[in-house]
Amino acid sequence: MQNSKNDEYINQSAYKTTHVNKDYEDRLLSIVLSNNKKAGQIIPYLVEEDFVFYENKIFFKIVSSLYKANLSINDDHIIDFAEKNKYEAVVNRQLLTYYYSINAFSSNIPTYLKEITRLTQLRNIEKGLIEVQNNIQKNVNIDTGDILWEIQKIILDVDRTKINSDFLTAREVSEEYYKNLQIRRLEKEGSITGLPTGYNAFDTVTQGLQPNELIILAARPGMGKTALALNIAINNAIKQRNVAFFSLEMSPEQLMARIYSIVTEINSFKLKKPSLLTDLDLVKINSARNKKIEPMSLFIDDSVGTDLENLIWKCRRLHKVNPLDLIIIDYLQLIPTKKQGRNAESRQQEVGRISRALKTLAKDLKIPVIALSQLSREVDKREQKRPQMTDLRESGNIEQDADIIMMLYRESYYNTKKQNDDAREQLKIDGEDIGVPIDLIIAKHRNGPPFDTKLRFIMSQGRFEDHDDDDKSNKYEKMED
């Protein structure tokens, strides 16, 4: 049936591919024709590209058009559409009879769909790699960065087609959910299902950072967002959870200086001016270095200015060797893309594209991804400076893509220098800096209620603690009163 046309189509469009399954193509179309009620389980999840064989491609085009027009998929409508659009030589009564004769079971729809979309992915990879190979052969001076970008595009395109292949039956999802429910039921009181941040109030409400989630941590410059992200990274890496940290404005050495200050609880100024360090400080540093810092499972990217495509590539490559538990990116607006330039998309569109790519990365790796973000300068101009979601800078699709949006607000940020100096003197107990209060505002929580909580920010060490941590807080509360 249309063999010569099929052979020509396969050879021309799929590079003589072997990644085809006519039997599954036929069975899916047979179910669509024989059982209109099942069309909604098939047509929305496929495209013409998924069908290699010519008559199947044209038949799918017809039934898809009927489905979108809310018309019944029956013999008369199909033949009428074929004749009006000059497809009668391919789609005719003979082809319909053939589809009716196929023995296909609707219970196997997920199996058929997975295989058909898997083959589409393989063909796209095959075609893309052949094009890359041809480009390399034709241009001996081609930049290796351009080659990596072309390969990364192939991967991203496959990620997009993969969405339609990830089908699970209600039974499969239910069984997995019920199994997890039973496990959680037996866990001790206070345990959480996700990755802990180390901050009790946040972890209690959210159940920790969940797999597949994109978490946005936003604040004005200098508010403490990098410090909080680094604290979360340390709290997990010390427990031997694999954390990848990308800083697009700080070197690994600068980050490590912050890590030493956080872990040792030594004033960061003393680490910048080592002559101020005491013998006791050196004991603390050596102990932290050997017992906590160097054994940490923390991976710091050492290339400032990594673009989106390379960042994603690095995450995937690292995840294969050391399965990651968490990715942190500081910060979103600094991520360049290959599309920047004279004809680049608007920055808002670009940031939206970045947030979608990071959300896809979180889903593919099945881990949480934290992306830091700037807030608009408009926050500083208004009388009420407490941030809102609309303050996200160049928000694009951030609000839509993010599962959690959290923002930092520190009232002392807007005080005069004298007010802050006076406050810092008051917030000391026996010469020890006990920190300033800072609000952690959960403005969006896709799987729960939005809420606010307080933390304590020990700015001299870049360290965050729970607001109600030990008796320091009791003394602090009295000072607040």
Same domain, 135 and 221: no
pTM: 0.65
CA dihedral 103, 108, 109, 112 (to 10 degrees): -90
Domain boundary (130, 165, 200) is at 165
What is the pLDDT, as a whole number, of residue 343? 43
Q: Which pLDDT value is given to residue 353?
A: 82
Question: Would you say residue 431 has pLDDT above 70?
Answer: no
Confidence of residue 226 (pLDDT cuts 50, 70, 90): very high
Same domain, 254 and 121: no
Same domain flag for 184 and 306: yes
Strands (E), 1-41: none
Q: So what's the pLDDT on residue 309?
A: 80
Residue 459 belongs to some domain of the structure: yes
* Residue 477, pLDDT score: 40
The residue out of 165, 200, 231 marking a domain boundary is: 165
What integer is the mean pLDDT of 339-347? 53
Mean pLDDT, residues 365-370: 95
Q: What is the DSSP string of 427-468?
A: TEETTEE--EEEEEEEEEETTS--EEEEEEEETTTTEEEETT
d(CA 256, CA 162): 38
- Mean pLDDT over the full length of the chain: 82
**Mean pLDDT in residue range 269-279:** 90
Where does 70-143 have alpha helices with state H?
Answer: 75-84, 93-100, 109-138
> Shortest CA distance to 258 belongs to which of 333, 330, 335?
330
Give the residue among 259, 265, 188 at the shortest CA–CA distance from 227.
259
Q: How far apart are the first and last CA of the chain?
A: 86
Decide if 71 is inside a domain: yes
Indicate if the pLDDT at residue 59 is higher than 70.
Answer: yes
Whether the per-residue pLDDT at 314 is higher than 70: the answer is yes
| Domain co-membership, 130 together with 223 | no
The verdict on 188 and 146 lying in the same domain is no
Same-domain pairing of 241 and 152:
no
In single-letter form, the type of residue at position 435 comes to G
- Weakest mean pLDDT among 47-61, 251-265, 329-343, 410-424: 410-424
Is residue 40 included in any domain, yes or no? yes
Tell me if 170 is assigned to some domain.
no
Q: What gap in Å lies between CA 90 and CA 94, rounded to an integer?
A: 9
Domain co-membership, 147 together with 209: no
113 shares a domain with 207: no
Percent of the chain whose predicted confidence (pLDDT) is above 90: 39
> Is 69 in contact with 80 (CB distance < 8 Å)?
no
CATH number at residue 381: 3.40.50.300
Q: Does 161 lie in the same domain as 188?
A: no
Q: How many domains does the chain have?
A: 2
Question: Are 216 and 134 part of one and the same domain?
Answer: no
CATH number at residue 110: 1.10.860.10
pLDDT of residue 430: 45
Query: How buried is 478 (Cβ within 10 angstroms: 0-12 exposed, 13-18 middle, 19+ buried)?
Result: exposed
pLDDT digits (tens, 9 = 90+) for 288-299: 999 999 999 999
Asked if residue 421 has pLDDT above 80, the reply is no
Instruction: Tell me the per-residue pLDDT of 28-46, one tens digit each, with 9 for 90 and over.
Output: 999 999 988 888 888 888 8
* Residue where one domain finishes, among candidates 104, 139, 165: 165
On whether residue 388 sits in a domain, the answer given is yes
| Domain extent for 295 | 177-480
**If 0-12 CB within 10 Å is exposed, 13-18 middle and 19+ buried, where does residue 438 land?**
buried
Q: Is 2 helix (H, G, I), strand (E, B) or coil?
A: coil
Q: Looking at the structure, do residues 365 and 416 belong to the same domain, yes or no?
A: yes
The residue-averaged pLDDT of 196-214 equals 92
CA distances from 348 to 128, 161, 351, 378, 387 (A): 29, 25, 5, 16, 19
Predicted pLDDT of residue 33: 93
Which pLDDT score is estimated for 191?
72
pLDDT confidence of residue 142: 79
pLDDT at 222: 86
**Helix 93-100 with 54-68: angle, nearest 10 deg:** 90
Verify that 306 and 424 share a domain, yes or no.
yes
Q: Which residue has the tokens 């290959």?
A: 338
* Residue 251 lies inside a defined structural domain of this protein: yes
Residue 172 lies in a domain: no
Rounded distance between C-alpha atoms, residue 276 and residue 256, angstroms: 19
Q: What is the largest CA-CA distance in the chain?
A: 92
In a domain, 96, yes or no: yes
